[in-house]
Structure 1
Amino acid sequence: MKLLPLAVALSVSLAFGCLPTPGAAAGADDLVYGYECHSGVCRKVELSEDNFAKAISLPVCRLFCSSSIGTLWPKPTGAVQLEPLMRQVDITNIKIQRPGGVNKRDKVWRDTERRWMDLVHAKIPNLKLLRSGGYQLAVVINTADSAKPTRLTLDTDESYVLQIGTNSTAGQVTANITADNFYGARHALETLNQLIVYDDIRRELQVTANASISDAPVYKWRGLLLDTSRNYFSVKSIKRTLDGMAMVKLNTFHWHITDSHSFPLEVSKRPELSKLGAYTPSKVYTHKDIQDIVNYGRVRGIRVMPEFDSPAHVGEGWQHKNMTACFNAQPWQKFCVEPPCGQLDPTVTEMYDVLQDIFSDMFELFDPDVFHMGGDEVSVGCWNSSETIRNWMTKQGWNLNEADFMRLWGHYQTEALKRWDNLTSTAAAPTPIVLWTSTLTQEQYIDDYLNPQRYIIQIWTTGTDKVIKKILKRGYRIIVSNYDALYFDCGGPGWVTDGNNWCSPYIGWQKVYENNLTHIAGDYQHHVLGAEAAIWSEQIDEYTLDNRFWPRASALAERLWSDPVGADGGWKQAEARMLLHRERLVENGIGAEAMQPQWCLQNENECPIDAYA
């Protein structure tokens, strides 16, 4: 067995007298264990005067011992070189140099730097015990676009190169970041942060002395969906979700703000929508809240994309308008999939004026490069229950069959899109529109009503659904959210019946990790923008949010950023890194679900049943 040369390179900075005497009882502040690298596995050892010089802390050992990519999450897609040598960092002497031309007062860059320093400080369990001194850490950022950060788009280049070098004479470690723009540079900072660890043996902050990483995401769209209508989520809890997303380079927060259950969105010209539709006056997302969340996301490299789900999933807030059908109709099973039912009435001309006012606020507040118009679970039975709708269709010479109700839906979609386009007419190009898979996206209807140059289809059915390739072969781009792997609310009791909820069982992180989009799309992979994991919040609120998203969302992040394949493509190779990554999430205030006993974290490869197979 060969010891990692890193151990020799580390300076012994704690006097042996600070260690417990072998066999003696240790005090609360005494560290008893360290680690040594044996045959690519970190082994736990009791510290003594004999082995102290060789022993290293667990994060340092894992960084170099187990894998060529260390403990990085998600794994980089380009070349990675990590020299097994660490340098102590002087926490009081970290300098960040912005790209030339960036205004010193630019809030996005300033907040990015502040957040990065907060992440560094979060590594230190007790500042009073931190050993002072060390190397200066200079972070030098170079971007081709040195202007103020613009919004993230489907064309944004998120790649970066990170190079770390040490000048021992000058006592300086320099991290050079090269990227096309702010977003790539921000991702590089995230990676750099993962190369900084707290060594609890020597009680010092350390950084990789020499490294080179080239990295870029495989998929453009890497997202999470949160439904804030079934249950309300505070701004603080949404920001915490954005924090976790930033740590794993997820770039899209899909905000399903409204539904039939509640309308918590403030609309300036239609205040009655939230007054009638919110659960309480305090459970409303004001314009100030939304601007705060959008800006918070941008600092973290995340687009916040709004969804206004329609023409179905509409109800609370629309009272007294005579613009809906089957709202809160009973028995609800005849009209929708869960109570309360409700759909917009496409025959009411004035309804489109209300839509335009909602769209107007969303356009101004979110500045979206992509807009989601829902289109989920439209019920023919709901529309057919309305005498007003039936009479209108009859006057058009239509029948009351499925095909003509899809024609009615097509009419709605055309008119709603016109209202959106009225607001965005000055944009350089029409906004791409996302719709869920539905009856309208089936083979017999999709060509008549949805232009593949304009519409992106979000898949929510199973990953083996034959409809997916029928959509892809027509040239539509897709976002994958197959419920059998990416619905994180699955697994729990039924709430409208006994037994378990409809999409049980609970989906483990391993299945999320193995949800290969190439297998789903086949020969049409070039039309796949990426994927989203979803939380529909019937049985989840902000108090259970973290452990539903995390660390499973991290598994999705590596699948979308790295798309691991072959021998390195399975969850087993990722498990040891995932355990440490989960600790990193918790370290930064995210209540990620526990995966294994902590003993498994400290005893690498001892828990998987076929670790040595």
Structure 2
Amino acid sequence: MYVFLNVLLFLSAENLVFQVVINDSVAIIDSPRFQHRGVLLDSSRHFLPVPLIKKNLDVMAYNKLNVFHWHIVDDQSFPFESRTFPNLSRQGAFSSDHVYTPEDVTSIIEHARLLGIRVIPEIDTPGHTYSWGKSMPELITVCWANGKPYQAIYGQHGEMEILNPIEPRVHSTMDALLREVKSIFPSNYIHLVTPGTIVQIWKAGQGYNVILSSPWYINYINYGHYRTNTTIVNLEFFKYCEVEPLRDFSGSDDAKIRILGGEACLWGEFVDGTNLLARLWPKTAAVAERLWSAASVNNSEDAQFRLDVHRCRLLRRGIPAQPILNGYCGNYELSMPNSMINDPAFNYDISPATDLTTTTIKSNPATSYLFDATSSMITSIFASLLLLINITLVTISFKY
């Protein structure tokens, strides 16, 4: 029979009476084109609640994305609670409620790990450090205007926004803070921003690995456009879907493999917990397809209908994904106003524990993505496979 494995996401744990009985092996052959498939979230310009971040990690797993790029600190606020420098968040966060404790960060990292997602922190420095200056003004460059210090206007002259490179305390503070960040985040990477500086041309010549993000700024808002007299198309979707990471690339084959993948970026000037999921999805699914599928899968005319179906799928899972085509998805839209982030129906938590020591569901190209080898739990296989899979020898029993 045909089994849509995602059906398990719609069932509560109590409704699972027996177990999934696998009578024969099933080979799932599926592997990504690019290894780095990420989403950047900005939690400095607007604080993003921990449950919302975890919810978005779930949706990332549905779409086979495997990197959460966390832009956690910027000018507007310093929500990362540092135990080494506690005043950074005490004075730099919006309020005492708008902080991420080490325990919060650890729980997000663990939630991501069980979904096969790596978390990379981003600390904006040496620019965009206005929030640092609220507790450590001695670290910030004194900017002049009209012949006087401290007269520059924030946002126009960079007043209180740039770390002072000749101040010794800057180096010792950065060293201690980054050591603390590294002790919490298990990733081998920490992103330190150099705002406005284009260094990729130098990095490419030195053989550095790179990722693509500039064509996928999801926070930009666009609108439909009449392609014909009767058809409205979503230019925003087509723009993201038609990006080809290696188009017009004239480098060597060795240089091509240094393009590790890409990211959809959602900057937070006008995004908070009320609209993040709708702004991000399903547009980011178009980015996910470009990074997973072969280069030949590039027909955006076909993709728009598949993405529209996927949008309906997300609605059924309680994700308020915005529409990309005219039409409707049953009556799911009618119930979405009640599906807020704290609603139990919205915050489902299904993690069926199953002994995988004898499992025969295998995917050599993506084993670590589908399973958590450490705890031997099925974690994201049901959330990850977005296709109907022909399984003839599987018995599943449920209580209705």
TM above 0.5, yes or no, is: yes
Which of 244, 261, 273 is residue 516 of structure 1 equivalent to? 244
Q: TM-score, normalised by structure 2?
A: 0.70
For residues 454-473 of structure 1, what are the alpha-carbon distances to aligned partners after superposition, in whole Å with 9 as ceiling and x for unaligned? xxxxxxxxxxxxxxxxxx35
Within 2, Cα distance between the matches of 1:224 and 1:294? Answer: 14
**Contact 1:521-1:528 within 8 A present in 2 as well:** no
Identity %: 30
For residues 186-213 of structure 1, what are the alpha-carbon distances to aligned partners after superposition, in whole Å with 9 as ceiling and x for unaligned? xxxxxxxxxxxxxxxxxxxxxxxxxx54
Within 2, Cα distance between the matches of 1:545 and 1:600? Answer: 21
**Structure 1 match to 2:2:** 86
Within 2, Cα distance between the matches of 1:229 and 1:520? Answer: 36
**Contact 1:513-1:559 within 8 A present in 2 as well:** yes
Within 2, Cα distance between the matches of 1:554 and 1:292? Answer: 25
Amino acid of the residue matched to residue 178 of structure 2?
F
Amino acid of the residue matched to residue 7 of structure 2?
V
For residues 483-515 of structure 1, what are the alpha-carbon distances to aligned partners after superposition, in whole Å with 9 as ceiling and x for unaligned? xx31111128xxxxxxxxxxxxx9612211111
Q: 1:479 and 1:573, CA in 2 relative to 1: closer, same or farther beyond 3 A?
A: same
Amino acid of the residue matched to residue 535 of structure 1?
L
**Contact 1:275-1:317 within 8 A present in 2 as well:** no
Q: 1:572 and 1:213, CA in 2 relative to 1: closer, same or farther beyond 3 A?
A: farther
* 2:10 match: secondary structure: coil
Within 2, Cα distance between the matches of 1:335 and 1:291? Answer: 37
Which of 258, 281, 285 is residue 527 of structure 1 equivalent to? 258
Within 2, Cα distance between the matches of 1:601 and 1:238? Answer: 27
Give how far 1:124 is off. Answer: 5.8
Give how far 1:250 is off. Answer: 0.4
**Contact 1:254-1:305 within 8 A present in 2 as well:** yes
**Contact 1:491-1:507 within 8 A present in 2 as well:** no
Give how far 1:241 is off. Answer: 1.1
Within 1, Cα distance between the matches of 2:213 and 2:185? Answer: 23
Which of 480, 489, 492 is residue 219 of structure 2 equivalent to? 489
**Structure 2 match to 1:374:** 193
Which of 207, 221, 230 is residue 475 of structure 1 equivalent to? 207
Matches within 5 A, 1:589-604: 589-598=318-327
**Structure 2 match to 1:138:** 21
Gap runs ≥5 in structure 1: 1-84, 90-115, 140-171, 177-211, 378-437, 447-451, 453-471, 493-505, 603-613
Which of 302, 310, 325 is residue 141 of structure 2 equivalent to? 325
Within 1, Cα distance between the matches of 2:51 and 2:172? Answer: 33
* 1:237 match: secondary structure: helix
Within 1, Cα distance between the matches of 2:190 and 2:140? Answer: 23
**Structure 1 match to 2:47:** 232
* 1:308 match: secondary structure: strand
Give how far 1:350 is off. Answer: 1.4
Give how far 1:601 is off. Answer: 9.1
Give how far 1:343 is off. Answer: 0.7
Amino acid of the residue matched to residue 210 of structure 2?
I
The RMSD of aligned alpha carbons is 3.0
Q: TM-score, normalised by structure 1?
A: 0.47
The structure with more radius of gyration: 1
Within 2, Cα distance between the matches of 1:232 and 1:329? Answer: 30
Q: Bigger shift: 355-364 or 245-254?
A: 355-364
1:303 equivalent in alignment to 2:122: no
* 1:254 match: secondary structure: strand
**Structure 2 match to 1:277:** 92
For residues 45-93 of structure 1, what are the alpha-carbon distances to aligned partners after superposition, in whole Å with 9 as ceiling and x for unaligned? xxxxxxxxxxxxxxxxxxxxxxxxxxxxxxxxxxxxxxxx437x9xxxx
1:335 equivalent in alignment to 2:154: no
Within 2, Cα distance between the matches of 1:255 and 1:136? Answer: 37
**Structure 2 match to 1:258:** 73
**Contact 2:237-2:324 within 8 A present in 1 as well:** no
Higher relative contact order (CA 8 A, sep 6+): 2
**Contact 1:488-1:533 within 8 A present in 2 as well:** yes
Q: 1:278 and 1:220, CA in 2 relative to 1: closer, same or farther beyond 3 A?
A: same
Within 1, Cα distance between the matches of 2:329 and 2:312? Answer: 13
**Contact 2:218-2:280 within 8 A present in 1 as well:** yes
Within 1, Cα distance between the matches of 2:157 and 2:110? Answer: 39
Q: 1:219 and 1:310, CA in 2 relative to 1: closer, same or farther beyond 3 A?
A: same
Within 2, Cα distance between the matches of 1:598 and 1:124? Answer: 27
Give how far 1:540 is off. Answer: 0.9
Within 2, Cα distance between the matches of 1:580 and 1:548? Answer: 17
Within 1, Cα distance between the matches of 2:60 and 2:249? Answer: 25
* 2:246 match: secondary structure: helix
Within 2, Cα distance between the matches of 1:589 and 1:600? Answer: 13
Matches within 5 A, 1:31-430: 85-86=1-2, 120-123=7-10, 137-139=20-22, 174=24, 176=26, 213-319=28-134, 320-326=136-142, 330-332=152-154, 334-336=156-158, 342-377=161-196
* 1:313 match: secondary structure: coil
**Structure 2 match to 1:551:** 282
Within 2, Cα distance between the matches of 1:232 and 1:273? Answer: 16
Give how far 1:240 is off. Answer: 1.1
